[in-house]
Amino acid sequence: SQQGEEDPQALSIQEGENATMNCSYKTSINNLQWYRQNSGRGLVHLILIRSNEREKHSGRLRVTLDTSKKSSSLLITASRAADTASYFCATDARGDSSYKLIFGSGTRLLVRP
């Protein structure tokens, strides 16, 4: 079973537009991560935000975290065709199993040139 759920499941935008993906999770966490997966490839780590942080930036990526709502969002600004991929949020769980990352079902992003 998966801890997180991404919304929307699929997103199609024009190059240059911003893309926003949301993630909701169920249990208390230490941190939340976002990963990207190109078709037929492994996942690549994008950004990590800790439970005591509310916002984090990395290049064209902006991540927010609202622990009271158990939700996070990933914003990709000025999208490019090369951003086409699936994006997953992943959470750990506080306690003995904190090493275990639980992934959501992903948002499939298509950026049209």
Partner 1 sequence: GAGVSQSPRYKVAKRGQDVALRCDPISGHVSLFWYQQALGQGPEFLTYFQNEAQLDKSGLPSDRFFAERPEGSVSTLKIQRTQQEDSAVYLCASSSLNEKLFFGSGTQLSVL
Does residue 43 belong to the site contacting partner 1 (CB under 8 A)?
yes
State the Cα angle at 101 between 80 and 94, rounded to 5°.
125
Listed in order, strand segments (DSSP E) in 1-113 are 5-7, 10-14, 19-24, 31-37, 43-50, 55-58, 61-66, 71-76, 85-91, 102-103, 107-112
Does residue 59 belong to the site contacting partner 1 (CB under 8 A)?
no
Measured from the CB of residue 43, what is the shortest distance to partner 1 in angstroms? 5
Measured from the CB of residue 98, what is the shortest distance to partner 1 in angstroms? 7
Measured from the CB of residue 110, what is the shortest distance to partner 1 in angstroms? 14
List residues binding partner 1 (CB under 8 A): 2, 4, 31, 33, 35, 40-45, 48, 88, 97-106
